Amino acid sequence: MLHHELSGSTPSRRPARRTALVFVLMIALLCGAVTAAVLWTAGTRVDREITAHRHQVTATTTGPSKDPPVATRYGTKPQAVAPAVWKFPDHVPRSGNIHVPPATPQGRTVTIWVDDAGVPVRPRGSAADRALTSLSGGMTAAGAVGVTGAAVVFLVRRGTDGHRLAAWEREWEQVEPVWSGRLDRGSGAGDDDD
């Protein structure tokens, strides 16, 4: 019993700590799932709004492409830029530079995305992009809640262990002189001579 009191790990307290950590884990997973679902829903709504104002048109290059030396972002294919013409809206002729595959010759037709005014824009994100964003957001939320909850459990445990050890030390100060056979701390050397 004394060993368990010194170590601060009585058998009745271990299940409570495990239960608290399991509860924190469940809350973290729930928060992560809710965050992922909210991000997915918001991303789907934004994609619908973007899709309503983006249109695919066919453009024809009016000159050869100017190829980039390297990819602009890690994991993306290099894109060149070429002058082109297209018609949008209502068959209104437009012109400008568009992104094309490297080494695109003059006169090649390319499908591009334009906004309601006919200005080239990037295509909307894919479902895979939305899923990755939702998953990473959910994992971040779950991690933040999990770490915070575990820290709270640790701090509460440390506080209760500190109180328990302080109480044990107070009790030990009363018991130790009798247990060790020493005289009372308040008695002097001449107290035995009466």
Q: For residue 65, what pLDDT is reported?
A: 86
pLDDT of the chain along its 194 residues, tens only?
A: 444 444 444 555 567 778 888 899 999 999 999 999 999 999 999 888 888 888 889 999 998 888 775 555 555 666 789 999 999 877 789 999 998 888 889 999 999 999 888 889 887 778 888 899 999 999 999 999 999 998 988 888 877 766 677 778 777 777 777 777 765 555 544 455 44
One domain, residues 118 and 141: no
96 φ/ψ angles, rounded to the nearest 5 degrees: 165, -175
As beta bridge partners, residue 81 has: 66, 99
Instruction: Tell me how far CA of residue 137 lies from CA of 24, 30, 69, 134, in angstroms.
Output: 18, 13, 34, 5
Q: For residue 95, what pLDDT is reported?
A: 92
Q: For residue 29, what pLDDT is reported?
A: 94
Question: Does residue 129 sit within a domain?
Answer: no
Question: Does residue 81 sit within a domain?
Answer: yes
Question: Does residue 71 sit within a domain?
Answer: yes
Domain boundary among 100, 123, 146: 123
Task: Give the total number of structural domains in the chain.
Answer: 2
Domain boundary among 123, 142, 166: 123
One domain, residues 116 and 166: no
Residue 44: its H or E element: helix 13-52
Domain boundary among 79, 103, 123: 123
Peptide bond into 89 cis (omega under 30): yes
Residue span of the structural domain in which 103 resides: 55-123
One domain, residues 84 and 101: yes
Question: Does residue 141 sit within a domain?
Answer: yes
One domain, residues 28 and 73: no
Residue with tokens 């010759």: 105
Q: For residue 176, what pLDDT is reported?
A: 74
Q: For residue 171, what pLDDT is reported?
A: 78
One domain, residues 38 and 82: no
Question: Does residue 7 sit within a domain?
Answer: no
One domain, residues 156 and 97: no
Q: For residue 4, what pLDDT is reported?
A: 46
Question: Does residue 9 sit within a domain?
Answer: no
